[in-house]
Amino acid sequence: MTAKIIYGKRIAEEINKNNAQNLNDLVSKFKIKPNIVTIKIGDDTESNIYLKLRDKACEKAGIISRHLEFPYNISEKEIIKYIKSLNSDINVHGLLIQFPIPTNISSYNLLNTIIPKKDVEGLNPYNLGNTLIGNENLVPCTPLAVLKIIEHEKINLEGKNVVIVNHSNVVGKPLFLLLLNRNSTVTICHIFTKDLKKYTLKADILIAATGKPNLINSEYVKNKSFLIDVGIAKTKHGLCGDIDFESVKEIVDKITPVPGGVGPVTVACSISNMIKTYIYCMRT
């Protein structure tokens, strides 16, 4: 039987509906709209596309989204100065750093400067540390989106073998924590993993986020498994995920498409996190 395709747009609509209701009540109570600032350094085409999608979602939700754009050659010290002033600005309710950033600037230093209550991406060490010990307040948006997709399919994660192909700080590591917090047996694979298939073939749920088009084919997947494709790569045929859909579709049970899978849910989760930082800011 051909795999069920899990469209992210529908899941995102449910999250957005909930977000809209929450926000409506909150804005009536606090009498001010959430005001979110994104710090953007340089001009990366792909992050511009993502930003446009997120801005559209913010507008729809009634969130004010501003970008502070800096040239590629700005120093880390200057950016940190801006972050500190945004931290103390009571009219700013959330901050994001748009990645990638220039290599001479430390992402750790920037993320560590964002005050935890305004950390929309949940990437500040304080928020990541809380996620590590199971206190999930502000959780990185893409891992959260993957979790929402799994929950939407009503899959009980307890005891499941889950394999993640990605060990970045933004995707693989926080996702590992979310799954472990739900008692899955989680394996992280990456570029140094020897014999990737040996691990992926055991996965009840396989999450691929490498950005390497069609890396995962029929030889890598278990019968009746659930494949979640986070990877995005631009190819001459358009946007492409990590999973070779044609090759696996008769083997696996469920699969998320690219585009239209994890992406829209990530945007919706970003809005959910903006609402959380807004609440934290308005309460203090």
What residues line the site for ligand NAP (CB under 6 A)? 142, 165-168, 170-172, 189-193, 196, 209-212, 215, 230-233, 262-263, 266
Q: What are phi and psi of 47, to 5 degrees?
A: -70, -25
Q: Name the minimum Å distance from CB 235 to ligand NAP.
A: 12
Q: Name the minimum Å distance from CB 121 to ligand NAP.
A: 11
Q: Which is nearer to ligand NAP, 42 or 211 (CB)?
A: 211
Contact 69, 40 (CB under 8 A): yes
* Three-state DSSP string of 231-247: CCEEECCEEECCECHHH
Q: Which is nearer to ligand NAP, 262 or 271 (CB)?
A: 262
Q: Which is nearer to ligand NAP, 12 or 251 (CB)?
A: 12
Q: Name the minimum Å distance from CB 263 to ligand NAP.
A: 4
Q: How far apart are CA 50 and CA 43, in angstroms?
A: 12
Q: Name the minimum Å distance from CB 166 to ligand NAP.
A: 4
3-state secondary structure of 206: strand
CB contact set of 97 (below 8 Å; sequence gap of 6+):
38, 39, 107, 110, 111, 114, 121, 123
Token pair 């109570």 is found at: 29
Q: Which is nearer to ligand NAP, 212 or 249 (CB)?
A: 212
Residue number of the CB atom closest to ligand NAP: 211
Q: Which is nearer to ligand NAP, 62 or 211 (CB)?
A: 211
Within 10 angstroms of residue 86's Cβ, the number of other Cβ atoms is 19
Q: Name the minimum Å distance from CB 173 to ligand NAP.
A: 9
